[in-house]
A and B are shown apart, each in its own frame.
Chain A
Amino acid sequence: MTQDVRTLAVTVEGGKLSVRTYGDPSKPTVLLVHGYPDTQAVWDGVVSELADEFHVVTYDTRGIGASKGPLLKHGYTLDRLADDLYAVADIVAPDQPIHLVGHDWGSIQAWEAVTRADSAQRFLSYTSISGPCLDHAAMWTRSGLRRPTPKAAARSLKQALASWYIVMFHLPVGPRVVWRLGLAKQWPRIIKAIEGTSIETSATLSKDGSRGVLYYRANMLPKMRHPEERPTSVPVQVLTPTGDRFVTPALAAQAPAPWTERLYVRKVSGGHWIVVKKPALIAERIKEFVLSDIATPGGPEPVRSLLRAEARQGTKDRREFEDKLVVITGAGSGIGRATALAFAEKGADIVVADIDAVAAARTVELVELLGARAYLYTVDVASADAMERFAADVKATAGVPDVVVNNAGIGMSGPFLATEVKDWERILGVNVWGVIHGARCFGEMMRERGEGGHIVNLASAAAYTPSRALSAYSTSKAAVLMLSECLRAEFARYGIGVSAICPGFIATNITRTTKFVGQSAEQQERTRQRVTGLYRRRNFGPDKVAERIVDAVRRDRPVVPVALEAKASKAISRLSPALARRMAKIDPTG
């Protein structure tokens, strides 16, 4: 670490706390409280990300690491631990309200502190990671038991199973002896096995592991038996790591809701020890919250993902995709435009991209007409450079998208031998490379952000329907379908859903722009008119496809055939490939 570390000792009742401070004391103070069985060293990574902009403070909680504490459990009640926290705050930032962050047991202690009567004077904001307020948790569990719907019972059961170790810690002698006898030595291997993270263990781990058991014993049973109502007016951000083995997202998100005035619940991917695994991500989330006008009066408007994370009382007035960002390519017409409008109507902000600037501008107007925000981009999806610039620009101006609809596509029909190399390059460029570029650029951003997302790729019923007239088009769409299936399997671990949409004959201007290879310009025009007429008579509009796309995102559907012919063809391709092959010989444009 490059920052200057200053250490000091704070004497408290029954102990002495080892405190470290970093950065410029005149800057806003952020106090980080560690969990079990860690020491303040668990914050090292986060500290180095924050120390340039903040006055950062960490300390070893009582009895842990370099801090001294009593030998009996009565010295470890949450009331005492909260007193410690206030004592540290009073020393490092006298008379200045601070921002508080807690992880695991540190989060439990910090909850105790921010739910005290005078907490609003001491704390500007609180970020809780993987540690509920025990009173809130007890109330939440009871409400689940009082109205034992299957869903409530299931989530309580899930949390109970995740809390197995708490029960173990209440067994006499055993757990403390285990820590002393060698659990500490095995600890890094255990963490590596369950979390996939390497952590540095402190020299005091066996003492800390054993001493920390007292934290559980002093508080768990009393709080579960006699929970108090503990409201707070301090704005709270709860970060819920996906794959947390100890605190389920249901508990973390729901338990504080009745007791907080302003609550923001944000998913982060990375497991329980995320503060070690992804310090930059955690620092980013802390900064976004602390700097926004939620926590700092006069600060900038919160970022979109924070706005979205606000848990409102009575969520009825919140539209389904409010404060979400949806990127749509080919949004100047047809399915792309209809999808833009469908998402806009449900509250999303839309990035409208199309190769046709005039058409895209019109979609922007329509999106704004629905009261949503729109960003206009002209981009050729076939160009890797253009797509990378586009994606970087979107990130800089609008943020990381929550949904990306790779919709841009072109049509092509005609005999294989009449399809020239440049025809192939064009259709594969737009229909396949366009999807690859979109998924690459935005998928990377989504993974990095760690809040999941959704990628929708427009394939086609042609992806699984062979036809003598559509060799190039069907090949491109089959690639999109398979790419989507593979991505879905790969991206699931990042919380990113992937859907392939397979529409049938949809009345859009794709028929007016389709290239019919091997035909003269005049013949092409006639064929286009005829096919356009056929599609129009089919009378299946792009707005219906848009609704299915929204639904695919909502329900994370893998493959969605749209319109009867798309479903029928899928059935035929499964039930009788021979029939599909026979039908492939018919030339529908002939």
Chain B
Amino acid sequence: MSNKTGPTPPAPEALERHRAAQALAYRCAETVGAGLEPGVTEREAARRMRAFLRDNGVEDFFHIPFAWFGERTAFRSLKGPWTPLHFFPSAKRLQEGMPYVLDCSPVVDGYVSDIGYAGVLGGPGTNRIFDALMRDLAEYRTLIPQRIKAGDTLAEVYAAVDALIARQGYESRHKVYPGRVIGHQVGHMSQRRNMGRYAFGFGLRTLETLGREIVTEGIKGRSPLWAGGRASRHAPTPGLWAVEPHIGFRGVGVKFEELLVVTGDDAYWLDDDLPHVRRWQLEGAYA
């Protein structure tokens, strides 16, 4: 039995389960974000996310919860270059006006979600750069499904995102992720072996699935990872994609990460009832 639904879009009831997992993940980020106080560390924030999700019946994570504060939201290290080890929650303490990003991916009954949530301690109006980035981030949520519907390959969408970043005058921060990915496929994980075990921050089940996907999809000339290179020169595989545009400017980074549903000729966000979308709708930055 496959560890994940195949290259067809998940059935409506499966989508509903993914949507519920995503809603839980965002509720987690929003709750933990609202409770962050000056002086709290990234590690403590990540621990709170983990506790929240466990308390709400989550038994496994696609990857362990991540939390980044201050310049680390833009993947800048004050000491030396950024390495993959820097992704892990650190002892960095939050201060008033400091941006933060929370990223968690609860798996509920095998249904994966993966979300990213950006905030600033003190709320809107305390950090001008954060506010500007957050406002401009809305454009990516429109652009990405639009380009897919227009028939672009994943690599072309990636290039369109790069061009928008250049036009806005920001930096691509998702290019720092391993493989420079802006997204990856997700699905249902039915296998129970290795549940709750992690390596390099990712669930062993995730790595197994991903490894298998890379091989099987690779044979078909596709990749479950979405980046700008040769491997992504194909139309998006029907299914669910976790898409995470991450932009930065001068030591502030913001992102969202949501599940995108791709069918043969359509692409749409799984859920619009999310904190950042509500915020954009209120501000009129997003139609």
Contact present for A370 and B250 (CB under 8 Å):
yes
Minimal beta-carbon separation of A119 from chain B (angstroms): 44
User: Any chain B CB within 8 A of the CB of A233?
Assistant: no
Contact for A369 among B129, B162, B171, CB less than 8 A = B129
Query: Among B128, B162, B250, which residue has the most Cβ atoms of chain A within 10 A?
Result: B250
Contact present for B132 and A362 (CB under 8 Å):
no
Q: List the A side residues contacting B162 at CB < 8 Å.
A: 536
Which residues 313-347 in A have Cβ within 8 Å of B in the complex? 333, 337, 341, 345
Q: List the A side residues contacting B129 at CB < 8 Å.
A: 369-370
User: Any chain B CB within 8 A of the CB of A197?
Assistant: no
Minimal beta-carbon separation of A325 from chain B (angstroms): 21
User: Any chain A CB within 8 A of the CB of B168?
Assistant: yes
User: Any chain B CB within 8 A of the CB of A366?
Assistant: yes
Chain A window 340-371, contacts with chain B (Cβ cutoff 8 Å), 1 for yes, 0 for no: 01000100000000000001001101100110
Q: List the A side residues contacting B249 at CB < 8 Å.
A: 366, 369
User: Any chain B CB within 8 A of the CB of A419?
Assistant: no
User: Any chain A CB within 8 A of the CB of B166?
Assistant: yes
Minimal beta-carbon separation of B194 from chain A (angstroms): 36
Determine the residue in chain B with the shortest Cβ distance to A368.
Answer: B128
Determine the residue in chain B with the shortest Cβ distance to A334.
Answer: B166
Minimal beta-carbon separation of B185 from chain A (angstroms): 24
Q: List the B side residues contacting A333 at CB < 8 Å.
A: 166
User: Any chain A CB within 8 A of the CB of B167?
Assistant: yes
Which residues 131-184 in B have Cβ within 8 Å of A in the complex? 132, 162, 166-169, 171
Contact for B168 among A345, A362, A509, CB less than 8 A = A362
Minimal beta-carbon separation of B277 from chain A (angstroms): 24
Given known A369-B128, A369-B129, contact A337–B169 (CB-CB < 8 A): yes
User: What's the Cα separation between A474 and B71 when bound, in Å?
Assistant: 40
User: What's the Cα separation between A369 and B129 when bound, in Å?
Assistant: 6
Contact present for B166 and A345 (CB under 8 Å):
no
Contact present for B132 and A369 (CB under 8 Å):
yes
Which residues 507-544 in A have Cβ within 8 Å of B in the complex? 509, 536, 541
Q: List the B side residues contacting A359 at CB < 8 Å.
A: 167
Chain A window 430-461, contacts with chain B (Cβ cutoff 8 Å), 1 for yes, 0 for no: 00000000000000000000000000000000
Which residues 206-264 in B have Cβ within 8 Å of A in the complex? 249-250
User: What's the Cα separation between A370 and B169 when bound, in Å?
Assistant: 13
Minimal beta-carbon separation of B106 from chain A (angstroms): 35
Minimal beta-carbon separation of A35 from chain B (angstroms): 50
Contact for B169 among A345, A362, A536, A541, CB less than 8 A = A362
Minimal beta-carbon separation of B179 from chain A (angstroms): 14
Q: Chain A residues in contact with chain B, CB under 8 A? A: 333, 337, 341, 345, 359, 362-363, 365-366, 369-370, 509, 536, 541
Which 9 pairs from chain A and chain B are nearest by CB?
Answer: A366-B169, A369-B132, A369-B129, A362-B169, A337-B169, A369-B128, A509-B166, A363-B169, A370-B250
